[in-house]
């Protein structure tokens, strides 16, 4: 039996750990601070439904990452942003997760897998993507603001781990799929995040408000066009019009949500701008091109912070 651990007490971490625990899974949470682990031990973890009217409370074992450790069978879901993958955290993870252990990478953007491969050699890495939406209300409470999907990389050598995790996540109520084409899904999610996140953060609006006026749609279309062009050279499959409609559909489907970047700005946390639009700017440079729209939104997100 694999031990399931969620690293990160942010919105996604609390949601995953809370739902897994509520479904009977023997799941633990590793937090970055001792204070959060103590309040989870004291108050339990509360999951609210979309409107916040109904809530469910679970008891969960929470340990600060500083004193955490698992064995080779452990499956650790890294539910922290790329910005949290600091040398200190990675050094702690190298102690907490032995060679042979499994790490599931749930970060937005690109570039984190290469970093983890380098500093945590010998661990089984499963890249994952999720479109679940959640909002952290406080250190022990999360609201599930939108139902999405979880895609887990289907790699033959880690199939036992990904299938076990898929089964547990499904039992916890998530829609989970194993995918051999994760690279395409990663680039598609990067496109969505590169367009919606910085614009909603700069304008301080909900996702649905981005498609409400022609001027906002115009800015969105320009940023989309530039990003789509660069990502297609990198291997993003799909037709421009089809993907443009898909980005607008995400705004409509998550219309009441604040993007994670806007949530970070409001909470005065570091944003993921460098791993999303920054990654696009670096991709442009590697193609011998520039990315003026991505450069502008990157500068503005940093300026409004």
Residue with smaller CB distance to ligand KPL, 259 or 275: 259
**Spatial distance between the Cα atoms of 23 and 238, rounded to a whole number of angstroms:** 37
- For 179, the 3-state DSSP assignment is strand
Tell the smallest beta-carbon distance from residue 148 to ligand KPL (Å). 8
277 binds ligand KPL (CB under 6 A): no
Q: Check if the beta carbon of residue 29 is closer than 8 Å to that of residue 44.
A: no
Q: What is the DSSP letter of 1?
A: -
- Spell out where the chain has E strands: 4-7, 27-31, 45-48, 55-58, 61-64, 75-78, 102-105, 124-130, 133-138, 141-146, 150-153, 176-179
Footprint of ligand KPL on 247-276 (CB under 6 A): 250, 254, 257, 259-260
Tell the smallest beta-carbon distance from residue 290 to ligand KPL (Å). 25
Residue with smaller CB distance to ligand KPL, 3 or 149: 149
Residue with smaller CB distance to ligand KPL, 106 or 133: 133
Binding mask 120-139 for ligand KPL (x = CB under 6 A): -------------x------
Tell the smallest beta-carbon distance from residue 39 to ligand KPL (Å). 25
Residue with smaller CB distance to ligand KPL, 62 or 243: 243
Which of 11, 70, 127, 207 contacts ligand KPL by CB under 6 A? 207
Binding mask 211-250 for ligand KPL (x = CB under 6 A): ---------------------------------------x
Residue with smaller CB distance to ligand KPL, 231 or 250: 250
Residue with smaller CB distance to ligand KPL, 75 or 78: 78
Residue 254 backbone dihedrals phi, psi, to 5 degrees: -115, 35
Size of the site for ligand KPL (CB under 6 A): 11
Tell the smallest beta-carbon distance from residue 188 to ligand KPL (Å). 11
Tell the smallest beta-carbon distance from residue 192 to ligand KPL (Å). 5
Which strands, in side-by-side order, build the sheet including 45-48? 55-58, 45-48, 141-146, 133-138
Q: What is the DSSP letter of 288?
A: T
Tell the smallest beta-carbon distance from residue 266 to ligand KPL (Å). 13
Q: How many CA atoms lie within 13 A of 229 on its CB side?
A: 15
Q: Tally the residues of the chain.
A: 305
> Looking up tokens 């959640």, which residue turns up?
134
**Judging by DSSP bridges, how do beta strands 141-146 and 133-138 pair with one another?**
antiparallel
Which of 31, 70, 107, 193 contacts ligand KPL by CB under 6 A? 193
Residue with smaller CB distance to ligand KPL, 68 or 247: 247
Q: What is the DSSP string of 64-126?
A: EGGG----TT-EEEE-S-GGG--HHHHHHHHHHS-TT-EEEE--SSSSHHHHHHHHSTTSEEE
- For 178, the 3-state DSSP assignment is strand
Residues that bind ligand KPL (CB under 6 A): 133, 192-193, 196-197, 207, 250, 254, 257, 259-260
């Amino acid at each position: 039996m694999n031990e399931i651990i969620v690293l990160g007490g942010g919105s996604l971490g609390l949601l995953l750990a809370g739902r897994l625990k509520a479904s009977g899974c023997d799941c633990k949470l590793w937090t970055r601070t001792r204070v959060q682990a103590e309040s989870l031990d004291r108050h339990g973890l509360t999951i609210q439904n979309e409107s916040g009217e109904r809530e469910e409370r679970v008891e969960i074992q929470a340990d600060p990452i500083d004193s955490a450790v698992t064995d080779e069978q452990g499956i650790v879901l890294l539910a922290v942003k790329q910005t949290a993958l600091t040398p200190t955290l990675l050094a702690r993870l190298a102690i907490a997760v032995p060679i042979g252990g499994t790490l599931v990478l749930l970060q937005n953007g690109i570039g984190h897998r290469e970093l983890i491969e380098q500093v945590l050699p010998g661990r089984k890495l499963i890249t994952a993507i999720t479109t679940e939406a959640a909002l952290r209300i406080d250190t022990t409470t999360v609201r599930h603001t939108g139902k999405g999907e979880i895609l887990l990389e289907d790699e033959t050598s880690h199939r036992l781990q990904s299938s076990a995790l898929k089964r547990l996540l499904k039992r916890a109520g998530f829609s989970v799929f194993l995918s051999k084409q994760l690279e395409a899904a990663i680039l598609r999610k990067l496109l969505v995040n590169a367009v919606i996140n910085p614009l909603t953060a700069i304008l301080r609006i909900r996702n649905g408000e981005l498609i409400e006026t022609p001027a906002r749609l115009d800015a969105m279309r320009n940023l989309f066009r530039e990003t789509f062009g660069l990502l297609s050279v990198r291997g993003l499959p799909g037709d421009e019009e089809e993907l443009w409609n898909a980005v607008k559909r995400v705004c409509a489907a998550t219309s009441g949500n604040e993007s994670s970047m806007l949530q970070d700005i409001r909470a005065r946390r570091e944003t993921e701008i460098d791993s999303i639009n920054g990654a696009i700017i670096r991709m442009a440079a590697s193609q011998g091109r520039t990315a003026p729209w991505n450069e502008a939104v990157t500068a503005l997100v940093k300026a409004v912070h």
